[in-house]
């Protein structure tokens, strides 16, 4: 018995040694190639510094090289030198030191302008208003500096003071004010409320910071008010911390449910995440609103609730980010946020929509085609797919915005009119009741005409292209009368376009105006007035039969 066993043992031993040698050789060669290329890179930089005809900025050149190298992997792997660590901290903690306002660049004025001060933040407390032109900061002229530079100057250590000079539309002399920088925490839940028929609504804007704590507080408050169902609005929520998404999902799912599995190159980034606590409510009907800007941790929450048949998902297909990033410390105070794994939600699918590892010949990437995705199943057996974000249970196509509205927004016509409107109206009705009268819309139309507003009409562009094509193919001469007649019909008519698109333009105007008085909360209330996704949610949540039907497997006839 022993003699027959020994040769087998020897074969296994020799095979093991050979495998170890091969692995060592493979790993050793890989490490050699890495060291070799690092030496070459270092030598190239040194040679350029010594002998290139002009002086080089080594910091700038190497930084650009690092950025290009990382972007070639995916857009989420990013290097943060010591000077930029605040940007990374803001992303993770949802806070920074500054004044708490969105600013925008006005190319016509060559100055930055206050776009939206956050409620209760230093900019708001100092009296800054949307439309204020930023002229000087501590005596330094801000003209021509660009938005990025001005934003950098406004930020700083919490508690530090600076002197700001602004020009407010409607006032002759510039205003001067002293502002103390504060800890700016962006609104995590800018709005929640109890709606008709006992439906609760929570708008969750981010998964950075501590959203689970705020969400829990808002949900329990709504339960005290007597809600019987809940809408969670994740539209525009670009994600944040994975743990926070799991914590919020746990509010509505039993303990011990697997929500996310991460898989990466190393064991330390591969893990399984389960619900750890007792839930707050496992029975209340839920609807989750999503959009193409719903990404990352938002998709984990929406996808987990869909895969476990716990909520009806409503809206448009989500972004499709199934990658997980981890921060790693680097020398000299730097850090790197790098993609370390993919995540898989309860059905086993990964929602990643773009395969960055397989690029086109020109280096571009595209979304994975639906035909190449795989079918998975929810806990109840409903079909769902991987590779393209979360497809809602109820899909509502977005209404296409008219061309004129795009130009009214980008050319700041709506913004400037809202500024003028606020100067003339110290107060307005509550957001729920506010609307523009026909007379006020006529005043807006007059304002647009006074601005000598110009914009491209898509019909004119298409007609011009068609005429060029007809001429190329030899048909223009025989069809010239028809083209002339059509050209007359499609002549630029500003009055017609403002009237024809009045509903959508009014909605944009109302949102911009209400935001000036009631901040982000008011803006959300205004948006929800004619919201197709919310209407779908209210219909489903107040119809138990329809709710159960959507979350069940369709019976074959």
Tell me 367's DSSP state.
B
pLDDT class of 555 with cuts at 50, 70, 90 = low
Kindly state the percentage of the chain with pLDDT values over 90.
Answer: 71
Catalytic, 307? Answer yes
**C-alpha pair distances (Å), 506 with each of 9, 414, 493:** 83, 10, 19
Helices 502-528 + 403-410 axis angle, to 10: 70
Mean pLDDT, to the nearest integer, of 118-129?
A: 95
Q: What is the per-residue DSSP string for 315-328?
A: ES------EEEEEE
Return the bridge partners of 141, or none. 136
Mean pLDDT, to the nearest integer, of 265-276?
A: 91
- 308 SS3 class: coil
Residue 522 structure tokens: 């008011």
Active-site residue identified among 257, 321, 337, 515: 321
Mean pLDDT, to the nearest integer, of 509-520?
A: 96
- Kindly tell me if the per-residue pLDDT of 384 is higher than 80: yes
| CA gap 419, 442 in Å, rounded | 17
Provide the 10 A C-beta neighbour count for residue 225.
Answer: 11
Catalytic, 221? Answer no
Active-site residue identified among 307, 309, 386, 533: 307
Q: What is the pTM of this model?
A: 0.85
Active-site residue identified among 101, 291, 296, 304: 296
CATH numbers and ranges of domains, the chain:
95-185 (2.30.42.10), 191-357+367-395 (3.90.226.10), 403-457+492-540 (no CATH)
Range 544-549, long-range pairs (CB < 8 A, 24+ positions): 544/285, 547/285, 547/312
Helix (H) or strand (E) holding 103: strand 101-106
| CA gap 5, 2 in Å, rounded | 5
pLDDT class of 139 with cuts at 50, 70, 90 = very high
| CA gap 233, 242 in Å, rounded | 18
Return the bridge partners of 272, or none. 261
pLDDT recorded at residue 173: 95
Q: Is 542 exposed, middle or buried (0-12, 13-18, 19+ CB in 10 A)?
A: middle
Provide the 10 A C-beta neighbour count for residue 363.
Answer: 7
């Amino acid at each position: 018995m022993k003699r027959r066993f020994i040769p087998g043992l020897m074969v296994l031993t020799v095979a093991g040694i050979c495998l170890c040698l091969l692995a060592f050789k493979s790993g050793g060669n890989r490490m050699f190639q890495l060291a070799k290329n690092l030496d070459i890179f270092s030598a190239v930089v040194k040679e350029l510094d010594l002998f290139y005809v002009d002086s080089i900025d080594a910091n700038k050149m190497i930084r650009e090289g690092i950025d290009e190298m990382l972007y070639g992997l995916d857009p989420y792997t990013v290097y943060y030198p010591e000077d930029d660590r605040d940007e990374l901290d803001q992303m993770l903690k949802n806070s920074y030191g500054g004044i708490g306002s969105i600013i925008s660049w006005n190319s016509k004025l060559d100055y930055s302008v206050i776009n939206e001060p956050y409620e209760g933040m230093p900019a708001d407390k100092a009296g800054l208003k949307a439309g204020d032109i930023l002229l000087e900061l501590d005596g330094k002229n801000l003209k021509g500096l660009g938005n990025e530079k001005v934003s950098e100057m406004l930020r700083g250590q919490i508690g530090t003071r600076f002197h700001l000079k602004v020009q407010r539309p409607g006032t002759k002399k510039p205003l001067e004010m002293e502002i103390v920088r504060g800890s700016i925490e962006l609104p995590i839940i800018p709005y929640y409320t109890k709606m008709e028929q006992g439906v609760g609504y929570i708008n969750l804007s981010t998964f950075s910071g501590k959203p689970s704590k705020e969400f829990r507080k808002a949900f329990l408050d709504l339960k005290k008010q007597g809600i019987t169902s809940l809408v969670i609005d994740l539209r525009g929520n670009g994600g944040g911390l994975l743990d926070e998404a799991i914590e919020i999902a746990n509010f509505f799912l039993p303990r011990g449910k697997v929500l996310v599995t991460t898989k990466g190159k190393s064991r330390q980034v591969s893990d399984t995440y389960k619900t750890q606590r007792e839930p707050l409510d496992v029975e209340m009907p839920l609807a989750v609103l999503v959009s193409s800007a719903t990404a990352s941790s938002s998709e984990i929450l929406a996808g987990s609730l869909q895969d476990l048949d716990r909520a009806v998902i409503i809206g448009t297909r989500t972004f499709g980010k199934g990658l997980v990033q981890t921060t790693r410390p680097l020398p000299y105070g730097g850090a790197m946020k790098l993609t370390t794994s993919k995540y898989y939600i309860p059905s086993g699918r990964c929602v990643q929509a773009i395969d960055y590892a397989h690029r086109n010949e020109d280096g571009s990437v595209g979304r994975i085609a639906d035909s190449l995705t795989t079918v998975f199943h929810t806990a109840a057996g409903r079909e769902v797919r991987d590779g393209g974000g979360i497809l809602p249970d109820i899909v509502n196509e977005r209404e296409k915005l008219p061309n004129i509205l795009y130009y009214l927004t980008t050319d700041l016509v709506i913004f400037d009119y809202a500024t003028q409107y606020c100067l003339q109206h110290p107060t307005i009705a509550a957001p729920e009741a506010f609307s523009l009268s026909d007379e006020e819309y006529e005043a807006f139309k007059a304002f647009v005409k006074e601005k000598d507003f110009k914009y491209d009409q898509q019909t004119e562009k298409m007609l011009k292209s068609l005429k060029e094509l007809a001429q190329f193919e030899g048909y223009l001469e025989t069809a010239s009368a028809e083209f002339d007649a059509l050209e007359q019909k499609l002549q630029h008519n500003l009055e017609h376009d403002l009237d024809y698109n009045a509903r959508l333009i009014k909605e944009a105007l109302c949102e911009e105006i209400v935001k000036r008085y009631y901040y982000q909360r008011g803006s959300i209330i205004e948006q929800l007035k004619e919201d197709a996704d919310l209407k779908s949610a209210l219909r489903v949540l107040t119809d138990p039969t329809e709710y159960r039907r959507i979350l069940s497997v369709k019976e074959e006839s």
